[in-house]
């Protein structure tokens, strides 16, 4: 099948910004890797699949625990980054909604901040269900709502005030869909999982002024980055200034530490 517009948009974006992602979003998302793997009970001997592995952070930690680890990503640039960083881990190119593995191949599947980069998150979760053995666990992380992951809140507020939120981008899944704990539980049960467990994991974005969450998203994100790049030059300058001003309560000199927690959801295949 030909990729849909949203998948093509995401793939092109990640192929272009794989290196830029690491010092920006990567430094935040790594903070919840341990919690994700603990929720999945990943340990020595666990057959673990890291879907949307990106630079391979979760796969690398899983391998360091002795797990039999495989990482999958649809972007070759991310596979290259992951292979360079973790040469002892197996990384393969593949799509989350058509995983290149047989049924019941894994004890645990993790998706770290990848779910809303998929055109069909429900299909990706169904694929995870398929490749899990009975008693195996799925776990994923997504950003908390913008009022809690305040870096996103700052940027969205600034765009709403000085720019446009309705820029022409390929339609994708609602950005905050799985920030809703009830929606996480509903979706996991609909796929066939049981005993969903939802929690929040603290994370902090640390930058040095004038760098803020604005620069993180402009240079290190696909959907948010495209939205920002679609603004006029004047609006973009105002947005950048506004985000820096909103960081004042979280600033100590040039050091800025902004809360960026995530939702962690896990469940079991019967």
pTM score: 0.95
Residues of the chain with pLDDT under 70: 1-3
- Whether residue 243 contacts residue 231, with contact meaning beta carbons closer than 8 Å, is answered with no
153 backbone dihedrals φ, ψ, rounded to 5°:
-60, -45
pLDDT recorded at residue 2: 45
- Which positions ≥6 away from 248 have C-beta within 8 Å? none
Q: Is residue 232 included in any domain, yes or no?
A: no
pLDDT recorded at residue 50: 98
- pLDDT for res 3: 55
pLDDT in tens, 180-212: 999 999 999 999 999 999 999 999 999 999 999
In a domain, 65, yes or no: yes
With respect to residue 214, please indicate whether it lies within any of the assigned structural domains.
no
CATH assignment at residue 99 = 3.40.50.150
What is the reported pLDDT for 30? Answer: 96
- On whether residue 245 sits in a domain, the answer given is no
Identify whether 251 is part of a domain: no
Instruction: Let me know if residue 183 belongs to a domain.
Output: yes
Q: Is 89 within the bounds of a domain? A: yes
**Quick check: is 56 in a domain?**
yes
The whole domain housing 70 covers: 5-145+169-203+261-268
Number of structural domains in the chain: 1
């Amino acid at each position: 099948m030909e990729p849909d517009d949203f998948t093509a948009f995401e793939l092109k974006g990640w192929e272009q910004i794989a290196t830029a992602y690491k010092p920006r979003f990567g430094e935040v998302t790594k903070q919840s890797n341990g919690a994700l793997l603990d929720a999945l009970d990943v340990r020595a001997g666990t057959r673990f699949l890291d879907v949307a592995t990106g630079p391979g952070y979760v796969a690398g930690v899983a391998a360091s625990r002795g797990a039999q680890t495989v990482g999958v990503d649809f972007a070759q640039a991310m596979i290259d980054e992951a292979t360079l960083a973790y040469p002892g881990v197996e990384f393969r190119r593949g799509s989350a909604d058509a995983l290149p593995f047989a049924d019941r191949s894994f004890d645990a599947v993790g998706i770290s901040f990848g779910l809303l980069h998929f055109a069909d998150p429900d299909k990706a979760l169904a694929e995870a269900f398929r490749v899990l053995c009975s008693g195996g666990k799925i776990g994923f992380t997504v950003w908390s709502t913008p009022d809690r992951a305040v870096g996103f809140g700052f940027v969205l507020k600034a765009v709403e005030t000085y720019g446009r939120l309705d820029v022409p981008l390929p339609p994708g899944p609602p950005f905050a869909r799985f920030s809703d704990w009830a929606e996480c539980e509903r979706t996991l049960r609909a796929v066939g999982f049981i005993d969903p467990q939802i929690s929040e994991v603290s994370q902090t974005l640390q930058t040095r002024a004038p760098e803020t969450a604005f620069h993180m998203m402009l240079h290190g994100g696909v959907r948010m980055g495209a939205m920002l790049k679609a603004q006029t030059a004047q609006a973009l300058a105002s947005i950048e200034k506004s985000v820096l001003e909103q960081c004042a309560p979280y600033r100590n000199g040039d050091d800025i530490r902004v809360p960026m927690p995530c939702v962690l959801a896990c469940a079991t295949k019967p």
